[in-house]
Amino acid sequence: MGSPLSPVIANFYMEDFETKAIEKAIHKPACWYRYVDDTFVLWPHGQEKLMDFLNHLNGIHNKIQFTIEIEEASHLPFLDIDIYRKMDCSLGHKVYRKPTHTNLYLHQKCHHHPVNKHSVLSSLVHRAKTLCDQESLAPELTFLTNVFKQNDYRHQQIKQAIKPATRTNKTEDKPTSTAYLPYTQTTYGRLSRMLAKYNNKSVAIPPTKYQATCHHPKMHQH
């Protein structure tokens, strides 16, 4: 996978592989959706025939082997989505989190620019609105609100991330240049305001980690 073309070529091969494999199968899936190496399948023929279909796939090429994960308690994770079966047997979807997930994100008191902190909240809210169905969205936003509070974010910050302000059509002059400045609470704000007067945009660079300043010792043989 070192070459930029490798994923494309691998995907072309797998498209041809799965097309021929499904055509030759005695019993076929009702749907087959693949993203890279994860495949979502609806199987209407029972679990015994499902195992036969798996053996059929694994018998085509000894270097291409499939594993299987069957829904448990009407839930099946696929990528970042938890696909679940509703009471009427239709499928719903919401955000999936691994059992080892800790709900630890960039803490509000960390020494980062407020824009970086807001982006953490807004990206999680955006993911919830993108992945959740109508029934699951409200519980997910309530869950995220509690998680943000655990990470010490204030009510106004959480409210701004969940319900962002409506943008106006105000026209502004585009900045003539951009300055990338190391973020420090004492000087960044002053410098960015000063540069803004001359139509220069400022971008905060996260502080350098201590580990990056320490060089690994090199062993020399004599």
* pLDDT for 105 beyond 60: yes
pLDDT digits (tens, 9 = 90+) for 166-193: 665 555 567 677 877 777 767 777 777 7
**Domains of the chain, residue spans:** 6-95, 114-162, 177-209
Percent of the chain past pLDDT 90, that is, above it, reads 60
For 198-217, what is the mean pLDDT?
A: 67
The more confident residue out of 217 and 156 is 156
* pLDDT for 77 beyond 60: yes
In whole angstroms, give the CA distance from residue 90 to residue 136: 14
pLDDT at 221: 53
In whole angstroms, give the CA distance from residue 146 to residue 200: 38
Nearest to 198 by CA among 183, 170, 178, 169: 178
User: Which residue is listed with tokens 């993108």?
Assistant: 130
Structure tokens at 122: 């807004």
pLDDT at 207: 67
pTM above 0.95, yes or no: no
The phi, psi pair for 205, rounded to 5°, reads: -95, 130
pLDDT digits (tens, 9 = 90+) for 121-169: 999 999 999 999 999 999 999 999 999 999 999 999 999 999 876 665 5
Structure tokens at 125: 């809210």
3-state secondary structure of 160: helix
pLDDT at 11: 92
> Are 102 and 139 contacting, i.e. CB atoms less than 8 angstroms apart?
no
In whole angstroms, give the CA distance from residue 214 to residue 206: 17
Percent of the chain past pLDDT 70, that is, above it, reads 86
Instruction: pLDDT band for 32, please (50, 70, 90 cuts).
Output: very high
pLDDT at 163: 87
User: Which residue is listed with tokens 């993203």?
Assistant: 35
Instruction: pLDDT band for 215, please (50, 70, 90 cuts).
Output: low
For 109-118, what is the mean pLDDT?
A: 87
* pLDDT for 27 beyond 60: yes
pLDDT at 177: 78
The more confident residue out of 76 and 178 is 76
